[in-house]
Chain A
């Protein structure tokens, strides 16, 4: 799967929650898009990722 534009090696079948834990990211401060669709935060424990998925993990940063 591709995460933030880079090839990532995570096992197929991992949930978003598990992925965020592996990446040490706080799920409260990120928004996830899988294959161009935003996944609601309440689905993080149940949403399963597959090989070939395009994952975007975004957050608020400083800006004008």
Chain B
């Protein structure tokens, strides 16, 4: 049985989903179900004391694993603070480290991510760091105890696809913890591409949340991730420069004819 195990949990889905940018809570709930996703990310923020903000937890299906992110953190110290607050909610000890001080491309700070990962692993968290694909950084993250490494395909929300393909390929080959492509995946075919390469899972948010029909798109992504994984396990054939006929080269109807 081909399953992905993270933090001791056997996951039933290799599609992780974010909860941001949905047009409504109802749509978000239905999309999570349509995606057949099990791991769901969310952010931690100050409560709006003036507003009537609904609690997001009541809109997440019961059997989901919560993966709070440390978005808003500009350095390791802030990420650690957010992670501890998230754990204090009492819904688990998984955390996605997201340390960003670049407001233009939202590219993560790999070095602060390493510091936060090391500290939080020591405090008993199940840590999944979001990072910019770099082999040495990925090695260190795995060494300090990250349960998976999450390299970006392209900037958050950009829907540009797996622009960092070759670097991710290197991580898949060299790193001995699951590689989960997170950020930039814009189409189901790109999710399938990541899975065919050998990524263990993908995390998708914007592409589903901002699609015209989020529920259909969630379904499409679910199928794409399954297809990509199957293709990876089936081992795709080699690419060739020249053609190689698929139909027999003998028994042609014109054989023996005068030219």
Q: Which of A1-49 contact B (CB under 8 A)?
A: 3-6, 23, 25-26, 29-31, 33, 36, 38, 40-41
Q: How distant is the Cα of A33 from the Cα of B87 in the complex, in angstroms? A: 13
- Residue in contact with B156 in the complex, picked from A40, A56, A64, CB distance below 8 Å: A64
Q: Are the CB atoms of B89 and A60 closer together than 8 Å?
A: yes
Note all chain A residues with C-beta closer than 8 A to B20: 62-64
Note all chain B residues with C-beta closer than 8 A to A58: 44-47, 85
Note all chain A residues with C-beta closer than 8 A to B84: 38
Contacts A31-B88, A40-B88, A64-B156; is A59 near B19 (CB within 8 Å)? no
Contacts A38-B84, A38-B85, A40-B88; is A5 near B46 (CB within 8 Å)? yes
B69 at the interface (CB under 8 A from A): yes
Q: Which of B88-107 contact A (CB under 8 A)?
A: 88-91
Q: How distant is the Cα of A14 from the Cα of B28 in the complex, in angstroms? A: 38
Size band of the interface chain B makes with A: 35 or more
- Residue in contact with B49 in the complex, picked from A4, A26, A38, A60, CB distance below 8 Å: A4
Note all chain A residues with C-beta closer than 8 A to B85: 31, 33, 38, 56, 58
Q: How distant is the Cα of A12 from the Cα of B22 in the complex, in angstroms? A: 41
- Residue in contact with A63 in the complex, picked from B42, B89, B90, CB distance below 8 Å: B42
Closest to B68 in A: A60
Q: Are the CB atoms of B44 and A59 closer together than 8 Å?
A: yes
Q: Are the CB atoms of B88 and A60 closer together than 8 Å?
A: no
Q: Are the CB atoms of A29 and B57 closer together than 8 Å?
A: yes
Q: How distant is the Cα of A36 from the Cα of B85 in the complex, in angstroms? A: 10
Q: Are the CB atoms of B45 and A61 closer together than 8 Å?
A: yes
Chain B nearest CB from A38 CB (Å) reads: 5
Note all chain B residues with C-beta closer than 8 A to A60: 42-44, 55-57, 66, 68, 86, 89, 91
Note all chain B residues with C-beta closer than 8 A to A61: 42-45, 53, 56
A-B pairs, top 4 by smallest CB distance, nearest first, are A63-B43, A64-B18, A64-B205, A64-B20
10 further A-B contacts with Cβ under 8 Å, apart from A63-B20, A64-B19, are A25-B47, A31-B85, A33-B85, A56-B46, A57-B47, A59-B55, A59-B56, A60-B55, A60-B57, A62-B56
